[in-house]
C-alpha cells in the first residue's frame, strides 16, 4: 500500500483525520506530537490557536478537542471553536467555569 500524504488526503477521503495534535497547554505551550499542525499559539489563559500546515478546503470541517490535568483529573470544558481554513481556536475552562490552562491538550480535524 502506498504512503498517504496530507496533500493526497485533502482532496480525497473526507472520512480520514486531516490533522491532529497533542500539546502542552500550561506554561510554555509546546507540541508533543502532531500531524498537519504547524504550530500552537498561546493567546492567554485557556485560549489556544491551532495553526494547520495545509489549510482545509473550506470552514465546514469539524475540530474536536479535549484536555486534562495530569494527576489532578480536573475536567476542562471546551468552550469555543472559531475556525478559518487554516486555524481554529480552542478555549478551556476549569470546573468552576473560569478560563484555565490544561497540562495536556488534544485536537483532531475531520472534513474537506
Phi, then psi, of 10 in degrees rounded to 5: -55, -40
Q: Report d(CA 32, CA 59) in Å as an integer.
A: 26
pLDDT tens digits for range 12-44: 566 789 999 999 998 999 999 999 999 999 999
Residue 51 lies in a domain: yes
pTM score of the predicted model: 0.81
Residues of the chain with confidence (pLDDT) below 70: 1-14, 69-81
pLDDT above 70: percentage of residues in the chain: 76
7 is a domain residue: no
Task: Say if strands 17-24 and 104-110 run parallel, antiparallel, or are unpaired.
Answer: antiparallel
Q: Which residues pair with 63 in a beta bridge?
A: 109
What is the domain range of residue 52? 16-110
Q: Is 72 inside a domain boundary?
A: yes
CA 72 to chain centre: 22
Q: Confirm whether 10 is domain-assigned.
A: no
Amino acid at each position: 500500500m502506498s504512503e498517504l500524504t496530507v496533500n493526497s488526503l485533502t482532496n480525497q477521503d473526507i472520512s480520514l483525520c486531516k490533522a491532529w495534535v497533542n500539546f502542552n497547554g500550561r506554561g510554555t505551550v509546546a507540541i508533543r506530537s502532531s500531524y498537519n499542525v504547524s504550530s500552537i499559539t498561546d493567546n492567554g489563559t485557556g485560549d489556544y490557536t491551532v495553526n494547520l500546515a495545509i489549510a482545509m478546503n473550506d470552514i465546514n470541517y469539524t475540530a474536536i478537542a479535549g484536555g486534562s490535568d495530569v494527576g489532578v483529573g480536573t475536567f476542562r470544558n471546551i468552550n469555543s471553536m472559531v475556525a478559518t481554513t487554516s486555524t481554529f481556536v480552542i478555549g478551556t475552562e476549569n470546573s468552576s467555569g473560569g478560563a484555565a490552562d490544561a497540562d495536556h491538550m488534544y485536537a483532531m480535524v475531520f472534513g474537506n
